[in-house]
Chains A and B, each alone.
Chain A
Amino acid sequence: MSNQKTPPTPSRGTRREELRRQQEAASARAGRLARATWIVGLAVIAVMAGIMVWAFTRPADPGAAAPGALVAPAGATDAGAVVVGQESAPVTVTIYADFMCPYCGQFERANGGDLAAAVSAGTAKLELHAMSFLDNASSGTRYSTRAANAFATVANADPAAAMAFYRLLFEQQPAENTPGLTDAQLTDLARQAGATEAVTASFAEGTYQPWIAQVTQKAWDSGVKGTPTVLINGQTFTGDPYTAGPLAAAIAQAAGA
């Protein structure tokens, strides 16, 4: 008991030694800790490098374009457009759009009525390029390609229903980064537009998917930078595409010229 109260005073030499030992132990501890941290850190770096390699090399997901035979819908232009309207119409309106593109939806909702009117009046014919570059914006379902394929299928077999189907696809446009409409919903819209069941039954076959990919590539190659891109008789339409009026006026002007 009394021993603990009065510990023996260490001589100066041993005390210095004790202090030195403590410091050495502390720095050895710090060194070990630093080494351990380095090892953990390097392991984390290696894991992340592995994840990156995996991200770059993993096989494309099975839903991606199955390369099939290139089939173009009947009546399509070489540039990849589905043509709607009378061949003799004096004005050609060329539209590059993706069914998932919200701005294309805005354009179509603002001008769809005027375009349909110009087509039925025989003033204009439409060259519709359905692109698929927003395939990534549908949670993996490749909505742009599916919708464009459905449109091409209808244009091929039921051309009279094509325009109505095109407009319905934009009227019922799904929001970006959602799975989009299901094949069944696409079928319903096509039926509403007047397509026969025999036609809609083949949506799932994806007959025109390789062609859609080619249409998209041809659009970029021709200098299209984004969607919607609208041309009137080959001249880029530069008016406001998102309000009704300017496009109709430009078509009327082109028809009168």
Chain B
Amino acid sequence: MPSAALAALVRLRRSNGWIWGTMLFSALISLTASFVLSVDAVVLAADPRAALACNINAVLSCGTVGTSWQASLFGFPNAFLGLAAEPVVITIAVASLGGVRFPRWFMLSAQVVYTLGVVFAYWLFFQSYFVIGALCPWCLLVTLSTTLVFTSLTHVNIRDGNLYLPPRASAAARAFVDAGLDALLVTVWLMAVVTMVVVKYVPLMT
């Protein structure tokens, strides 16, 4: 019965294991990508001339993402932020999988900080897509996994009422999540990002 399978799927998606597991998995990917990008940044800093060439990976232009001013907006490589933030998310996910319930104010703070991170990730994505014009696969991975961490965190915080929303907004948000619309939204969103990248870069690589 498809409806039984559907019900099982909905139950799985709403389970704590799935939600925190998704968050853990995505945060691990983000951390790995941040690590790779940080190493790249350090290598680049040691030998700035390494970047002053048109290399084999030039997809669209010889300007690389790593040497752009956007890549170290705060005076140090952006990837360092990921190295600092993702372990916190990993800790939250692992502790929650182990049954820990964090206070509301704690989860709200996590939501606020991570929201800023997501905004920053998308600003970077649009800069590299439209301004720098070079594809950075590890950066793209950070964009996608950051989105997944953000949506699982938001899902939990809406479900557990951690966001201090007014009652009506809270009810609406919960109805939205209960209908599974957050999953739909994030799927559409990630597909849109991937489609943008595919449409722009695939013709250039063939």
A binds B: yes
Question: Complex Cα distance A98/B203, Å?
Answer: 20
Chain B interface: which of A131-139, A146-154, A197-205? A131-139
- Over the window 1-13 of chain B, the binary record of Cβ atoms lying under 8 Å from chain A Cβ atoms (1 yes, 0 no) is 0000000000000
Do residues B60 and A177 form an inter-chain contact, with CB atoms below 8 A? yes
CB–CB B53/A60 < 8 A: no
Contact pattern, A 200-234, Cβ under 8 Å of B = 1, otherwise 0: 00000000000000000000100011111100000
Looking at chain A's contact residues, the main secondary structure is: helix
What's the Cα separation between A122 and B206 when bound, in Å? Answer: 43
CB distance from A164 to the nearest CB of B (A): 24
Look across to chain A and name the residue whose beta carbon is closest to the beta carbon of B185: A41
Complex alpha-carbon distance, A111 and B60, angstroms = 26
Q: Are A133 and B62 in contact (CB under 8 A)?
A: no
Binds A, one of B70-78, B122-130, B190-198: B190-198
| Size bracket, chain B contacts | 20 to 34
Q: Which residue of B lies closest to A31 (CB)?
A: B179
Q: Are B192 and A134 in contact (CB under 8 A)?
A: no
Interface membership of A79, Cβ < 8 A: no
Which one of A10-18, A47-55, A244-252 is at the interface? A47-55
Residue of A nearest to B184 (CB): A41
**Given A44-B188, A227-B53; A55-B58 close (CB under 8 Å):** no
Cross-chain contact B60 with A52 (CB below 8 angstroms): no
Residues on B with C-beta less than 8 A from A44 are 188, 191
Number of interchain pairs (Cβ within 8 Å): 95
Flag whether A242 is at the interface (Cβ < 8 A): yes
Contacting residues, chain A, for B202 (C-beta < 8 A): 55-56
B206 touches which of A31, A51, A60 (Cβ 8 Å): A60
Q: Is A78 an interface residue (CB 8 A)?
A: no
| Complex partner residue of B62 from A42, A61, A134, CB under 8 angstroms | A134
Task: Give the residues in chain B near A177, CB-CB below 8 Å.
Answer: 60-61, 133
Given contacts A45-B188, A51-B199, contact A133 B52 (CB under 8 A): no
**Bound Cα distance A42, B54 (Å):** 41
Contact A48 B61 (CB under 8 A): no
A132 vs B61: C-alpha distance when bound (angstroms): 13
Q: Are B192 and A102 neighbours in the complex by a CB distance under 8 Å?
A: no
Q: Are A102 and B198 in contact (CB under 8 A)?
A: no
Query: Which of B55, B63, B206 is A225 in contact with, Cβ under 8 Å?
Result: B55
B53 with A226: CB separation less than 8 A: yes
Q: A242 to B58, Cβ gap below 8 A? A: no
- Flag whether B68 is at the interface (Cβ < 8 A): no
Q: How far is the CA of A45 from the CA of B59 in the complex (A)?
A: 27
Q: Is B175 part of the contact surface with A, judged by Cβ < 8 Å?
A: yes
Q: Tell yes or no: A183 within 8 A of B by CB.
A: no
Give chain A's interface residues, CB within 8 Å of chain B: 30-31, 34, 37-38, 41-42, 44-45, 48-49, 51-52, 55-56, 58, 60-61, 98, 101-104, 133-134, 136-137, 176-177, 220, 224-229, 240, 242
Give 30 CB contacts A-B under 8 Å. Answer: A34-B179, A34-B180, A38-B179, A38-B180, A38-B184, A41-B184, A45-B191, A48-B194, A49-B191, A51-B195, A51-B199, A52-B199, A55-B198, A55-B199, A55-B203, A56-B202, A61-B203, A101-B54, A102-B54, A103-B54, A134-B62, A136-B60, A137-B58, A176-B63, A225-B55, A225-B56, A226-B55, A227-B55, A240-B49, A242-B52
**Chain B interface residues toward A at CB < 8 A:** 49, 52-56, 58-63, 133, 175, 179-181, 184-185, 187-188, 191-192, 194-195, 198-199, 202-206
Q: List the 8 shortest-distance A-B pairs measured between CB atoms, nearest first.
A: A226-B55, A34-B179, A226-B53, A101-B54, A41-B184, A136-B204, A48-B195, A48-B191
